[in-house]
Structure 1
Amino acid sequence: MATLVFSGIGTMLGGPIGGAIGTLAGRQVDAALFGPGRRQGPRLKDLAVTTSTYGQIVPRHFGRMRVAGSIIWATELVEHDEAQGGGKGTPGTTTYSYTANFAIALSSRPILSVGRIWADGKLLRGAAGDLKVGGTLRIHTGQGNQAPDPLMAAAEGAQRCPAHRDLAYAVFENLELAPFYNRIPSLTFEIIADESFDLGALVRDVVEDLEGSLPLPTILGYSSEGPPATDIETFDQVVPLAIDTAGGRLVIARERSHADLVELPEAAIAVGDDDFGGASGFTRHRAPASAQPPMILRYYDPGRDYQASVQRASGRAMAGEPGALDLPAAIEAASARTLIESAARRIDWSRDRVSWRTCELDASIAPGSLVSLPGIGGMWRVCEWEWRESGIELALQRHLPLGADMPPALATDPGRLNSLPDVLPGETGLFAFELPFDPASGGPDAPRCFAAVSSASPDWRGAALFADRGDGELLPLGPSGRRRAVMGTTVSILPDANPLFLDRGPGLVVRLIDPAMQLASIDTRQLAAGANLAIVGEEILQFLHAVPLGDGYWRLSGLLRGRGGTEAARALHIAGEPFALLGTGLASIDTSVLGSAAERQVVALGAGDAAPAQSRVRLDGITLRPLSPVHPRRTVRHDGTCTLSWTRRTRGGWAWQDGIDMPLVEEAELYRVTTGPLEAPLATWSVAAPRLDLPAALWSELAEMAPGAPLQVRQQGTHALSLPLTLCTLP
């Protein structure tokens, strides 16, 4: 405000030059009245990012902290290419991905381990030690006997690669960069340097003769980038200390307790002109209040993923911004509030000062000692002493009464944390199958193979799919994608039912792989449109009602059985069969890579899998196999000729429309009629129409040769024979 006022007055009186002078004067006034608060202690860094600057200090860390680190070694990005497709009638594609190898220095003193890791603010490594992206992580804790990292030694040479002893660092090998836009992300690490530490640990590395190990129960971690003296000074702002270097030994302790109180003798009178307290031997005064007393404590809150946080002391607001204490330590919010409240109370009490003169020597009195004064109430702390000709002069500061610096229980709000979920990837579930031919999905000569890939964990990030043609060699099929398929297993046994009617029986109980997954009930119109299509074992069906039973169990009822020409599997069900909802979330399988061997199977391997998931291909060959004929009929003419007829069905012709003949998907309409076993038929006929005439003599001959044997018909397709339809049995 003063800047605007002085600038306007200066412009009015002296033009542009006067305005500039007024602006400068106004800024000085604003700074004096409303200037930025005075900061004490090392400056906090708001989760600084990883850098690679030469000469940068690698801090020492104590307890638990979240730090950025410095990149000390890296290679060029590694390019990976993967070719997919290129089979029969499908274009080939090549995808490129990049990984990185690099090392990051974490601490200039040994640590115990590394906890979570964040990359660009997102969780890269969970608390359980699981990497959320592909790659390998090795932690070197900085012990004095640690060996060089094998990757760095292989790249630089065993003779040139240092072991970085007494330096904790992390090495990433082949870290996937796709989630980070093909660049090395900004990383921060949760360092676990010690289970607990004391104040003496901050200086023990540089001071040999040290006495005292002051515990810091409320300080969970601390980062030191400067000399130990700065660290001690920083902690003295929130934890009053008594430091003594007499006798060449450093003693660190809390302020003397009330039990160590020493009573001083009467003050000695001095007659010098420049001596204080000429008539009494002492003087007493109250120091002026600080213009900006520290009322704010900035710290790292482990409850908010070590983000920089602020706690304010209670009290009347003062002009200007209050002073702030910067403590680069990990502290719980409630403990931080207590520390700043106590510090604010101590500052007000310590304004009372006394200069006292005594002529008696007492070896127990030294800076930090607590004393009492004759005729003056309270306790006083010795700040300094000086031996002069007139006596020993003590500078005293009022000490808080017992419990005066302990604030009452105050409500503390640490702030909101929008934490990212830390969930283990979970094991991969796999169910591979073929689907019947669909004219809307491709030509009639290409198999339609899919895999339902899913997991019980919502944090599952997909899996790599491979094809095993039966020889044990794994051929890559590409990633499954992150979207989970709705799948599970059957709990009950699905009984046989007529596929021509809606099955209103007890239905089927299934258990989904994730209890949070949902199934939905539909109406009959949606059922007729093809909704709620699912595969159970070797049968495709639809369900009208889905009733949750709890804990991922569902009862499916109102079933339409044998959809897509799978009616032959109605009576073959067992408990524990795989179940998958058809539709979205299915991974397409390249059949040119998978092959057509009967032993073929699909293999999936995800980040949370101890062993790969395997699945043979269910409904094998159903895409190219013609549907079996229906509606068998047997007619005997007047001359004894037996006429057998049937109705053709077509692959992909799932809608029976009146007045329209079913299209012929195969190259030609051919049928094979056999009698006896299919593997070794007694007689075979090939016809080009859905009809076969057997003269009376031939009929009698067949009856004598194989009485009771069935006559069966199969459609001869372009690629395979259909399943048989029994026309009749011989007498």
Structure 2
Amino acid sequence: MATLILSTVGGIVGGPIGSAIGAVIGNALDRDVLFKPKGRDGPRLSELHLQTSSYGTPLQRVFGTMRVGGCVIWSTDLIESRTSSGGGKGQPSTTSYSYSASFAVALSGRPIQSVGRIWADGKLLRGAGGDFKSATGFRLHVGGEGQAVDPLIASAEGVGLTPAHRGLAYAVFEHFELADYGNRIPSLTFEVVADAAPVSVGAIAQELADGRIDGSAAPQTVTGFAANGDSVRAVAETLAVAGGAWFAPDGRALRMRAGVAADHAIADGETVANGAARGKHGRAMAALETVPRHVTLAHYDPARDYQTGVQQARRPGAGVREDRVEMPAVIAADIAKTMAEAVLARAEAARERRTVTLGWDSLTIAPGACVSITGVAGVWRVTGWALEHMVLSLECVRLAAGTLPVSASAGRVLPAPDVATGTTLLAAFEAPPPEDSVLSVPRVTIVAAGTQPGWRRAALLYSTDGGARWVAAGATAVPGILGQIVGPLGVAGAAIVDRANVIEVELAHAAMALAGADAGALDAGVNLALVGNELLQFGEATQITATRWHLAVLLRGRRATEAAIGTQRAGDCFVLLEPDAAATLDVPTATLGTDVRILASGLGDVGGPVDVTVALTGRSILPLSPIHLTWCELGNGDVAVRWIRRSRAGLRWVDGVDAPLAEEREVYRVALVSPDGRAIAVQTTEPALTVQRADRIAGLSLAVRQVGAHGESAALNGMIPAWVD
């Protein structure tokens, strides 16, 4: 009779999928159903699949949880936005440009459940909590059969020309801000959750082969797997390595098998059908040097953000051969270590081979079956089958016993930081600029932060007409330090160090911190904070809890805010004024005496933007109130009144002489009010005034204001007693 000898698959895997197919159904399934007649190209391990946009790129089919790149299937041109700022008195305006894009990325050729984290150029774009680190709209289409057309793509391409991509999972980014990525679409990778739990290699092979592979007997699971390439056969063989499996015929299909349970017991010396001969048993043992001494298994490690991990297995004895197994699946380090040990154990066991001859009535023992041989230890897998002259010859290879689990470490991990964004906290107020500059238009200072450490910035809009019209104002500066005071703050003088009072501050989150400062640093302006309506500095900062601090050694009423000393109450704002954390907004002079509304919208503000209203009193551009009101008798009942002016351009008084005027001219308006309510307004061009005896008979109250180009300062108040002969 004709002889049929089946080929085997060499190497340490020994997965005879080709042999099993040939034994049962020849090449028909391989050629016409499962495996196309071309070079096999299956999944390969790489440093994660990069995003592509090439036409005709095969789409991976994702199982379990896997980090994958995608294929851009649709995009718009870059969208340019223009913002102008500045342009105040004598200053040119500044125009800045920003760019965004809208695009869609295909993720999986089979339906998925969700998408977790997203990385852009290796940095975390979307955290585990679903928060985005850069501004973008985002929609996920999971690939169901009832999937609808994406509205953005339909609006751009036309409803009738836009496919729903049913069966294809894809993500749509709308107006993705590109400033953080060099004004280009970054390379994106996605944590795709196709199945909520780990999935068995048998189930993957069965689905990829449209049910023509029965994988129920291959229970080894992987956390995630992305089937890509143009050959189901290559993918199936890769999965066999992961499960220590092989393939056996099952009707017109294949069964993926694993384990060491024997299907048949072959009796030693069993006779053939005609009784003319007895079974023959041949044994061959390959040299130890043919077995790898060192096996390296590379895989995707979930503990390393799905980057490549490597585990190794070694054996003692002779030999120098080293083998590397690339397993493009997501598996933990200890499972990968166990898998490497199992690959090495299977290679060692496969050194021993046996040839068994049996009668034709044993034809049911097909390639891929497991047998036990009487008098011979272990279980053997049939790899070759030949029938000649009614004598059946079986080529068998020893199966390795099960490998016990071993522990392993993923090594040092430096994952991309995933810090929650939180919602925006916004403080906006008008105050004299800290750098002693002389402004010509009102200025609002804006300090923002978030309720969580991951907050970075927020877009700003403002309105000077009650919200009828809004104007873009750029973005906030770097996150500031914000909080609230826990209790009231006592009264103290503005001319000496306040060592009697302590501020208790509750900061927004534990990542915010304060630090003390010595006298030199305080003189240079550090640790300036707005507490309620008072600007002050602190020299000591003591942490009480993760977010609570005690501040002491205070300099009160800084930058002409002494009128607010002692007005604070529990819950009032605390804002640390640092140059790099403060954004400024200059508004027209005509807005003095009105309110300006400011909207801030950050990535985590899903409930809507933060709205703050600032009353424009002119504190940033009006002269400072005079100080040190004194008077003296001139001997005839007249009184000489004097005061000292202050300058917006010289609050620090660094040179010991008169501060610069910083106004167009020096003018003061003095209101003299008698007890009966009669008022006299006097204007003077020097910080002095003589009050006549006739005007002070019943005593007087004085209110001195410096006059500037945009209005008058706050009043310096005093009293002159009545004249007594």
User: TM-score surpassing 0.5?
Assistant: yes
SS in 2 for 1:313: strand
1:550-699 mapped onto 2 (5 Å cutoff): 550-592=545-587, 595-610=591-606, 611-617=608-614, 620-655=617-652, 660-676=657-673, 682-699=679-696
Distance in structure 1 (CA, Å) of the matches to 2:716 and 2:122? 63
Q: Name the residue aligned to 1:31.
A: none
Q: Name the residue aligned to 2:178.
A: 177
CA deviations on 1:595-633 (whole Å, 9 max, x unpaired) are 434322333221122332333447842222222223333
Change (3 A) 1:216 1:593: farther
Tell me if the contact between 1:41 and 1:327 (Cα under 8 Å) persists in the aligned partners. no
CA deviations on 1:310-330 (whole Å, 9 max, x unpaired) are 222211487665222222211
Deviation at residue 412 of structure 1 after TM alignment: 2.1
Q: Name the residue aligned to 2:470.
A: 474
SS in 1 for 2:223: strand
Q: Name the residue aligned to 1:73.
A: 74
Q: Quick one: which of 711, 718, 722 aligns to 1:720?
A: 711
Q: Name the residue aligned to 1:541.
A: 536
What amino acid maps onto 1:77 in structure 2?
Answer: L
SS in 1 for 2:711: coil
Tell me if the contact between 2:446 and 2:585 (Cα under 8 Å) persists in the aligned partners. no
Q: Quick one: which of 418, 423, 429 aligns to 1:422?
A: 418
Deviation at residue 214 of structure 1 after TM alignment: 4.3
Tell me if the contact between 1:468 and 1:474 (Cα under 8 Å) persists in the aligned partners. yes
CA deviations on 1:349-378 (whole Å, 9 max, x unpaired) are 122222222337368744444433334343
What amino acid maps onto 1:356 in structure 2?
Answer: V
Tell me if the contact between 1:600 and 1:617 (Cα under 8 Å) persists in the aligned partners. yes
Q: Which moved more, 1:232-241 or 1:95-104?
A: 232-241
Q: Quick one: which of 240, 243, 249 aligns to 1:239?
A: 243
Q: Root-mean-square deviation (CA), in Å?
A: 3.2
Q: Name the residue aligned to 1:281.
A: 280
Deviation at residue 567 of structure 1 after TM alignment: 1.0
Q: Name the residue aligned to 2:110.
A: 109
Q: Which moved more, 1:663-672 or 1:210-219?
A: 210-219
SS in 2 for 1:48: coil
Change (3 A) 1:298 1:525: closer
Tell me if the contact between 2:596 and 2:616 (Cα under 8 Å) persists in the aligned partners. no
What amino acid maps onto 1:187 in structure 2?
Answer: L
Q: Name the residue aligned to 2:130.
A: 129
Distance in structure 1 (CA, Å) of the matches to 2:366 and 2:384? 8
Tell me if the contact between 1:267 and 1:356 (Cα under 8 Å) persists in the aligned partners. no
Distance in structure 2 (CA, Å) of the matches to 1:447 and 1:322? 75
Tell me if the contact between 2:382 and 2:395 (Cα under 8 Å) persists in the aligned partners. yes
The runs of 5 or more residues in structure 1 that have no matched partner are 1-38
Larger RCO: 1 or 2 (CA < 8 Å, sep 6+): 2
Deviation at residue 42 of structure 1 after TM alignment: 4.2
Distance in structure 2 (CA, Å) of the matches to 1:98 and 1:670? 51
Tell me if the contact between 1:628 and 1:724 (Cα under 8 Å) persists in the aligned partners. yes
Distance in structure 2 (CA, Å) of the matches to 1:128 and 1:135? 16
Tell me if the contact between 1:115 and 1:189 (Cα under 8 Å) persists in the aligned partners. yes
Distance in structure 1 (CA, Å) of the matches to 2:693 and 2:231? 113
Distance in structure 2 (CA, Å) of the matches to 1:470 and 1:574? 31
What amino acid maps onto 1:91 in structure 2?
Answer: P
What amino acid maps onto 1:419 in structure 2?
Answer: P
What amino acid maps onto 1:458 in structure 2?
Answer: P
Tell me if the contact between 1:432 and 1:615 (Cα under 8 Å) persists in the aligned partners. yes
Change (3 A) 1:673 1:372: closer
Distance in structure 2 (CA, Å) of the matches to 1:418 and 1:373? 52
SS in 1 for 2:128: coil
Change (3 A) 1:285 1:491: same
Distance in structure 2 (CA, Å) of the matches to 1:681 and 1:446? 36
1:347-358 mapped onto 2 (5 Å cutoff): 347-358=347-358
SS in 1 for 2:498: coil
SS in 2 for 1:562: coil
Q: Quick one: which of 222, 225, 231 aligns to 1:222?
A: 225
Taking structure 1 as the reference length, what is the TM-score of the superposition?
0.84
Q: Is residue 271 of structure 2 the alignment partner of residue 268 of structure 1?
A: yes
1:97-496 mapped onto 2 (5 Å cutoff): 97-196=98-197, 197-198=199-200, 199-204=202-207, 206-208=209-211, 211=214, 213-214=216-217, 216=219, 218-225=221-228, 226-241=230-245, 243-255=247-259, 257=261, 262-264=265-267, 266-268=269-271, 281-287=280-286, 291=290, 293=292, 295-316=295-316, 322-359=322-359, 361=361, 365-400=365-400, 404-407=401-404, 409=406, 411-436=407-432, 442-472=437-467, 473-481=469-477, 483-496=478-491
Number of aligned residue pairs:
675
CA deviations on 1:661-702 (whole Å, 9 max, x unpaired) are 443333333332324499x863333333334434333433xx
Q: Which moved more, 1:575-584 or 1:279-288?
A: 279-288
Distance in structure 2 (CA, Å) of the matches to 1:366 and 1:530? 88
Q: Which moved more, 1:262-271 or 1:147-156?
A: 262-271
Q: Which moved more, 1:592-601 or 1:190-199?
A: 592-601
Distance in structure 2 (CA, Å) of the matches to 1:287 and 1:616? 85
Distance in structure 2 (CA, Å) of the matches to 1:279 and 1:265? 9
What amino acid maps onto 2:622 in structure 1?
Answer: R
SS in 2 for 1:334: helix
Change (3 A) 1:690 1:572: same
The runs of 5 or more residues in structure 2 that have no matched partner are 1-39
Tell me if the contact between 1:78 and 1:99 (Cα under 8 Å) persists in the aligned partners. yes
SS in 2 for 1:546: strand
Taking structure 2 as the reference length, what is the TM-score of the superposition?
0.85
SS in 1 for 2:522: helix
CA deviations on 1:251-303 (whole Å, 9 max, x unpaired) are 33434525x5635363337999xx9xx77633222245674648222221111
Distance in structure 1 (CA, Å) of the matches to 2:713 and 2:506? 33
What amino acid maps onto 1:721 in structure 2?
Answer: E
Q: Which moved more, 1:503-512 or 1:644-653?
A: 644-653
What amino acid maps onto 1:248 in structure 2?
Answer: R
What amino acid maps onto 1:130 in structure 2?
Answer: D
CA deviations on 1:563-604 (whole Å, 9 max, x unpaired) are 211111113111111122233223332323694343223332
What amino acid maps onto 1:433 in structure 2?
Answer: F
SS in 1 for 2:452: coil
Q: Name the residue aligned to 2:15.
A: none
Distance in structure 1 (CA, Å) of the matches to 2:223 and 2:439? 67
Tell me if the contact between 2:696 and 2:720 (Cα under 8 Å) persists in the aligned partners. no
Q: Which moved more, 1:170-179 or 1:456-465?
A: 456-465
Change (3 A) 1:442 1:377: closer
CA deviations on 1:5-26 (whole Å, 9 max, x unpaired) are xxxxxxxxxxxxxxxxxxxxxx
SS in 1 for 2:425: strand
